[in-house]
Structures are given as structure tokens and as C-alpha cells.
A and B are shown apart, each in its own frame.
Chain A
Amino acid sequence: MMPLFDFPGGIHPPENKAQSSATPIRQAPLPPQLHVALRQSMGNAARPCVAVGDRVAKGQLIATADGRLSAAVHAPTSAVVSAIAPQPFAHPSGLPELAITLDSDGEERWIERQPLHDWAQRSGAEIRDFLAQMGIVGLGGAVFPSHLKLGVSQLETLVINGAECEPYISCDDRLMRERADAICDGIAVTHHALQARQVLIGIEDNKPQAIAAMQAAAAMHGYRVVAVPTKYPSGGAKQLIHVLTGKAIPHGVRATEHGVQCFNVATVYAIGRAVLHGEPLISRIVTLTGAVDAAANVEALIGTPLASLLALARPHHDSKEVVMGGPLMGFTLPDLAAGLTKAGNCLLVKSPALFPPRPPAQPCIRCGDCASACPVSLQPMDLFWFAKAKNFDKAQQWQLFDCIECGACSYVCPSQIPLVDYYRFAKSEIWGAERDKNAANLARQRHEFRQFRLQRDKTEKAQRLADKAAQAAARQAASHSAAANLAPAADPKQAAIAAAMARAAAQREAAPLPEQHSSGLNDAKQAAIAAAMARAAARKTAADEAKAASGQPPTPPPQSSGLDDAKQAAIAAAMARAAARKNAADEAKAASGQPPSPTPQSSGLDDAKQAAIAAAMARAAARKAAADQAKANQQPDS
């Protein structure tokens, strides 16, 4: 018996899993039409790579990943593409999403499947790429692309999450009972890619049959099945990792930094199907439960209209709403015409009899029940107060973003306050403000860069003119002196005098700057200035050439307001590069002991200011890049 580590808080709501876990997984019938949404991961929606009218085979790629957190989408069955248009989508906002509508031909004709039979000889990177093509995402609900979680190796512990702590849901339970061997095959692949020292499979002790089945299957692999005490939310990735390893991983830190990685059982099952059988992620197991006559688990194709899935469970007549997910973290579906997504682990039918509406909220009496229930030791009553008062700074100081939105606080609140709603509200307000701030920053940067660029162009134009005039004057002077002193040209002394005179003449003529008319600049100084101008011009030309060679636009292109992150990052980077080049040139100038290029005539930016802008731009770019990195590194719950 290995030692287990309790996490703070937690609740014990009625489990209500028996209704759906009693019967084996059924195959949902093939629907005549599927709406496969292109947003099947936490990243961008995928880009369709088929056209309306195309015939597609089962498992054929129909949309490619767009960006790092995006996931590829495959045809769940052989069909004809009948539309690529916005469709109802399983999201609390109720906003439609672009989806590929497939009219199934009923043949279930597969593409040629190409399993990775020799996965044991393949590197982690190869397996990673393969899974990315297969559109595998975390099936515990977070739909984080799984291949991104395989980027590390030499882990201490690989945690397989079979806790399934939320009431009513039993899809993982049934999967473990019925397909334990296939799950272990998937674990084997994952284990190989991650090179973890040990594999721990955590299952809540309210699922004895699943534990027994997994133990039988895992024995030959040497994986350890651990029965963890039933307590919501032990199925949260970080909670389960803590229970099994004692490692408390704070918000914003990757589990891998502590040598742990966590996968949901359904996800490793999908990994196994993909690698061993060449099947992309086109179906999943869904629990149909709640106010229904025939609660069950069905294996359904991604894109199956939710209404047709629900019909299989025969909802009660008084059923009102349908929740996707569990009763604590799920959301009410705005439209049942939406197709099943990879995130859809459970459809919970609500009826007033089974789910009495929440009584109206009463004032918070600071009883602290929420704080005792919070699995991350927050002070929910304080956060509620701050969110209500829109005191978002304070909310962040009280670590609002450590909240995993498990709903334990809302569940125990005697005042019946929907606490999690307040936290989501506060989070989205903070995100909104952050976006606005970033947009304003970007606009300011662009403005400052434009000012800087205009100034620079102006200065350079003046330099070019000055150089041209100087050269013309020098030529003129040279020809004059040559004509005047043809014979004694051999005399070095006279030649020197002539040259000096020519220079003087040239400088007199090439005096575009008003101050030069009045001031008594000596020759040497003027010559130095001219030389500096020439050098600057040369440098500028070289820089432009370099710019052109590197394929960079010399100035940022005009921006529309709808830029995506990647584009913004690229612009910021380009700005930073240009600024850095400019900076380097200035530094070189300063180092050579020369006066800087003629000071701008207008009250434009001085060097220090420009350098500051450049530095700020570089910093912004770095921050942005870091933020992107952090976003990408965030670990989902599966």
C-alpha cells in the first residue's frame, strides 16, 4: 500500500453513477448527418481541407490544425461534404461555430489506416508528430492537444487519471471495465514517449470493478493501479497528482517541472487506437444520464447531433435542460442541434424533479464553508466580495486565477450563491481588460514606431541631399583647381593648398543647414560632419539591403483591428529587430567617437528616446513570446 496524500477541501456530493454505469457501452447508431465542428481543441478552429461535394472516407483528414493548440479533424464516417458553414455549437455562449456537415453514405468505408506498428522503435518526437496528425486531444474535458504533453522525457511519474470524480458521469468507469487492455496499450505508447520512471493509475475507490479490471490488465505492464479515496474533485489533474505523489503544483506551473505528467484514461485509450490501429480520434464514449429512462454509456461519432444521442436514453417528459459535462462543472447546452465534440463526456438531462432550481441567493454570512470546501485553499467568500464589487486587483491578489472552477464552493454555500459564476465573471473581465490594454499598447507602439520611422526617413533624406551636394561641389572644386594649376600640379604643397581650397569651396556650396551660413565652422569639423553623413548613408543602404535580403518588410504593414496573436507577435518582433538594428548603428557611431548624425531639425526624437522605444518594443516582444509560451505550456485536466 503506497502512501496517499490528501488535498485540502473537497466535497462528497451524491454520486449518482449507478444509473449509467450498470450497462455496457453501446454503439450509437450511425446518424444520417453529422456536424463536425472545426473547433475541437482549446486552440484555434481547424482549417477545412475539403470542399462541399467532396466524398470523404472514414478517418480521412478534413481539417488541418491551425496553430499550436489547434487539433486536426477527421471524417467520423464515410460521407459527402454537404456544407461548410456555421452551425450550433456546444458552448455556453450559444454562438455558432464553423462546422463541416457530412451526409453519411452508410458504408463506413475507412481510408487506408496506417498504424505506427514499430512505435517502440520510434522516438518521442515521431510519436508526437503522429498523434498531432491523428487529432488526439485530452478527453477529460479540457481538450488540450495530447501531443503537446509528450514533449518531455525522463519523467519521474506518469499519472493516468481514471478518478472520474464528478457525479453522474461513468464513461471512464465503463471504458476501464471493458477495455482495460486497450487502455494499457495506450499507456505503453505514452510511457514509451515520456520515458517515465513509474506509471500510476489513479481510480476513485467507488469504482471497484474498474480497479479490478485495470489491475488485471496493468499487472503484466508493471503499472500500478491505486485506489484513491472518493472525494470531489480528486479527478482534477493537479489534485490527483497530489493524492498520488504528494506534489502540490501551483497554478501556472507545468506538472512536468515537477517530473509528473497526467493523462486521462480515455485519452490514452485514444492514443492506443491511433498508434496501434491507425484510427484518428473520430469517436468517444458519452454518458447519457439524469432525468432519462435509459441512462447509458454510448460510443458515438464526433459530430453526431446531440438531440439524436439523447433520444437513445429516452429523456423524461418533464426534462427541461441538458447539461454537457457533469452537474458541477458542466454547462447548459444552448442548442441540441449541435454535433458531439471531443469534449463531450456526458449529457446530463435536467428535470425540475431531479434538479430542483436553486433557491434565490441570500447574503453571504461568511460562514467559511466554501473555504473549507475549496481544494486549492482559496478564500471564496473574499473572492465573491471582490468580484461583486468589481475589485479585480484585489481578486487577483487573493489568487483568483488559482481557482479551478470545480464548483465545490457553490455546492456547499448555504446562501445558495452561484460563486463560480462570479469567479468566471471576474476572470473574463480581467482578461478583457488585459486584451484592451495590450491592444492599446500595440497601438501606442505602432504610433511611436511610425513617428520614429518618419523622423528617420526625413533625416536620411537630408543626409542624402547633403552628400550629393558635397560630392558635386567637390567635383567642381577639383576641376577648378585642376584647370587653374595645371603646371604646378606636381608640387605637393600647392596641391595640398588646392585641395584645402576645394574642400572649403565644397563646404561653402554644400551648406544646406542654415547654421552653417552664419557659424564659423572650421574645415576639419565640417569635413568630419560630411564624413559622418556619408558613413551614415552607407550604413543605411547596407541596412536596407540586409532588410531586403532577410525578406522583412522595412516598415510594419498597415494593421486591421482583427490581428491574431501570431501576427501581432511577428510585427512586434520585426519592430524590435528594426529598432535593434538602429540601436546598434547608433552605438557604433557613438563608439567611433563621431558626433551622431546631424540632429533632427524638428523637435523629433532624440537618440535616448529612440533607444528607449526600441528597448520597450523589444521587451514587449519578449513578453508576448513568453506569454505565448506560457499559454502553450498550460496543462489541461486530462
Chain B
Amino acid sequence: MTAIHSTHIAKPATVSTVMLKVLAALLPGIALSVYCNGIGILLQLLLASLTALGAEAAMLRLRGVPVWPALKDLSAIVTAWLLALSLPPLGGWWMIVVATLFAIIVAKQLYGGLGNNPFNPAMAGFALMVVSFPAQMAQWGSPQLPLDATAQWQWIFLHTLAPGSVPDAISSATPLDVLKTGLRQGQALAGLLPQSSAQGLIALGWLVGGLWLWRQKLIPWQTPVAMLAGLLTLALPLWLWQPAQYASPLLHLLQGGTLLAAAFIVTDPVSGASTPKGRLIFGFGVGLLTYVIRVFGNFPDGIAFAVLLMNMTVPLLDQYTRPAVFGHRKGRS
């Protein structure tokens, strides 16, 4: 095919700039995360990035695709960061490495690389870890961790602690996990609620990043809004009905990375729906499923499974939610 027909002007945007902006939008949340949880998260981000780049480069080479042009699109880094931000900040180094390798090699490159993966790579990596290492994935670390930077790094790499530290703080479960286990054991809801506002603060960081991406026209409003709506559709009535049994909608919004997912994960264009209506359905489905898995399922958090399940519906959604073509009536094809 010759290029003599092509349009002779184009917006200067490239995939790299898009991905770079996504990474930039993650920064406020990362900063708040560091503020609340210490700098262990930075090590996780670094580990994930290096693993992702290495795995991507190796796979591109094996596939016989020019390595550099594909590597510099930064999509591997975005996947790596989202994974690092989803996994426990003080998880062992091998966890993030395994998760990232699976995300890049299996969920992304084996399907043909960027643009061809039917499942969100970060969520595939996350799901693998939750299914394979549920105990380790549940150890989130107490928000007011009395560990300094050195201790955190030591813990991540060597799994050892300096004498005098409190191992209990490290192995504390995620708030959603605490909630679920406690409720099953018949404890009162009030005593199970998280004592700190750290998660809420971090969630605010994701919200800011998401709003900026929307202003930059890099993500549509439909998917995040529909996801939150789907979550609230179940959370609100159930909470109003039995506030002692069901956690408040606010808790569901702020805990478990709901806003991280709303801004950065369900908005992944490759594995998500691409029509306006399809995006609404996709997001709504993720929200509903997330709540169902969180509250009635076996896993403390359900976003990853909800996203993967909805990823499967995307071809169908895209086919049946196509907008009417100019001048044609709806439903005619």
C-alpha cells in the first residue's frame, strides 16, 4: 500500500504520549500512597517496570517484532504500574515479578501485543496472584506502619525485619478482607470499619488523576461513571435496608482500589468496549460484579474478576451497541 493517498496532516499525538499522560495521571495517587504507606511502593513500581520492560523486550524479540518502537510506546510501564499499585505495597519482591511476567508475557504478548489482548493484562496478573497466593495477597500492611524506608526494602527483598519491629503490622489484612471475615464471624460492622483515612486519601489521588485524564480527552466519562453507578446500584439499597449488615456505599467507593479501577483500569481502551453505549454497559457490569464478588463471593475484592468477566463481553457489546450511521435509522445495518 502506498502512502500517496494519506491525509497529509495529523495531530501530533502518539501512543507514547497517551501512555505518558496516563503515567503522569497516576502520580498524585502514588505520592499520596508514599505519604501514607511509606516508600515501599516506589520499590514495587521500580521492580514492576524493570520486569515489564525486560519481559516485553524478550517477547518482542521472540516474536520477531522490532523491539524499540514497541517498547517505547510505554504501554508495558502502564501495566506494570497498575499492577504494582494493586498488589500489597509490602508484598515480597517475587510477587510483583511473577504478576508482571504473567501480565506481559501471557496476557499481553502471547495474544499479539499491544492492541490485541482481550483481557486487561494488569487484572490478569492480579487475578493470577489472588488465586495462587491468597494468603500473601491479603497481607496489605497497616497504614500506620512504623517501618522506615530501609526496613521496608529489607522486608520486600529479604522478608526479614530488624529486631524490635512489629510483624503484626505487616501481615494485617486489607480493610475489605477484615470486613468480610469479621461479618462472617458475626462481629458487628461498626467495629470492623477501617480506623484510618489513608485509603480514602489515596483514592482521592486516583480521582484527581482520572479527572485530569478525562479533561485531556484520554478517557471517556461513560466507563468510570457507569462503574461507580453499578457499584452503588447494589451498595446503596442494601445498606439502606440493613446498615448493620452491609457496609456503606462510601466504604465501597473508597476501599479496595475502586477509584483506581474506575479511572485507570476499566478505561483501558484495548480490552474495554469502544462504543459510548458499550462503555456504559461495560462499566456498569464491572461495578455490579465487583460488589457481588466483594460481598457475596469468596474473594475480598472483586474488581479484577469483574473486569476480566466483562472483558469477555466486549466483542458482543461492540457489535450490538454500534451507533446508527449518519442518515440511517437505528438498528439497520
Interface residues of A (CB under 8 A from B): 7-8, 13-14, 92, 167, 238, 242, 248-251, 253, 323, 327-332, 334, 348, 350, 355, 358-360, 362-369, 371, 375-379, 381-382, 397-399, 402, 407, 410-416, 418, 420-422, 424-425
Q: How far is the CB of A568 from chain B (nearest CB, A)?
A: 30
Top 3 A-B pairs, shortest CB-CB distance? A250-B327, A363-B115, A376-B326
Q: How far is the CB of B112 from chain A (nearest CB, A)?
A: 8
- Does B270 lie within 8 Å of A327, measured CB to CB? no
Q: Judge if B250 is at the interface, Cβ distance under 8 Å.
A: no
- Does A366 lie within 8 Å of B325, measured CB to CB? no
Q: How far is the CB of A308 from chain B (nearest CB, A)?
A: 23
- Partner pick for A365 among B15, B69, B217, B326, CB 8 A cutoff: B15
Q: How far is the CB of A432 from chain B (nearest CB, A)?
A: 15
Cβ-closest chain B residue relative to A367: B269
List 21 A-B residue pairs with CB atoms under 8 Å apart, sorted by A's residue number: A249-B327, A332-B4, A334-B4, A360-B69, A362-B73, A364-B115, A365-B75, A366-B272, A368-B275, A377-B324, A377-B325, A378-B325, A379-B318, A381-B274, A382-B318, A399-B325, A411-B7, A414-B17, A414-B18, A418-B3, A421-B5
Other 19 A-B pairs with CB < 8 A, given A327-B8, A362-B14? A13-B9, A14-B9, A331-B5, A358-B3, A362-B114, A363-B113, A363-B114, A366-B269, A376-B325, A377-B326, A398-B333, A399-B333, A411-B10, A412-B10, A413-B11, A414-B14, A415-B14, A421-B3, A424-B5
- Does B8 lie within 8 Å of A348, measured CB to CB? yes
In the docked arrangement, what's the CA distance between A412 and B218, Å?
A: 12
In the docked arrangement, what's the CA distance between A402 and B322, Å?
A: 14
Name A's interface SS. loop
Q: Judge if B13 is at the interface, Cβ distance under 8 Å.
A: yes
| Chain B residue total in the interface (Cβ 8 A) | 40
- Does A365 lie within 8 Å of B333, measured CB to CB? no
- Does B11 lie within 8 Å of A371, measured CB to CB? no
Q: How far is the CB of A1 from chain B (nearest CB, A)?
A: 25
In the docked arrangement, what's the CA distance between A8 and B322, Å?
A: 14
In the docked arrangement, what's the CA distance between A251 and B10, Å?
A: 26
Q: Judge if B323 is at the interface, Cβ distance under 8 Å.
A: yes
In the docked arrangement, what's the CA distance between A399 and B322, Å?
A: 11
Q: Judge if B245 is at the interface, Cβ distance under 8 Å.
A: no
Interface residues of B (CB under 8 A from A): 1, 3-11, 13-15, 17-18, 69-70, 73, 75, 113-116, 217-218, 220, 269-270, 272, 274-275, 318, 322-328, 333
By a CB distance below 8 angstroms, the chain B residues around A249 are 327
In the docked arrangement, what's the CA distance between A397 and B275, Å?
A: 17
- Does B5 lie within 8 Å of A420, measured CB to CB? yes
Interface centre among A330, A360, A414 (most CB of B within 10 A): A414
Q: How far is the CB of B145 from chain A (nearest CB, A)?
A: 37
- Does A377 lie within 8 Å of B114, measured CB to CB? no
Cβ-closest chain A residue relative to B271: A366
- Partner pick for B10 among A330, A362, A381, A410, CB 8 A cutoff: A410
- Does A413 lie within 8 Å of B10, measured CB to CB? yes
- Does B327 lie within 8 Å of A238, measured CB to CB? yes
Q: How far is the CB of A225 from chain B (nearest CB, A)?
A: 25
- Does A411 lie within 8 Å of B326, measured CB to CB? no
- Partner pick for B7 among A250, A382, A418, CB 8 A cutoff: A418
In the docked arrangement, what's the CA distance between A215 and B75, Å?
A: 53
By a CB distance below 8 angstroms, the chain B residues around A399 are 325, 328, 333
Cβ-closest chain B residue relative to A11: B11
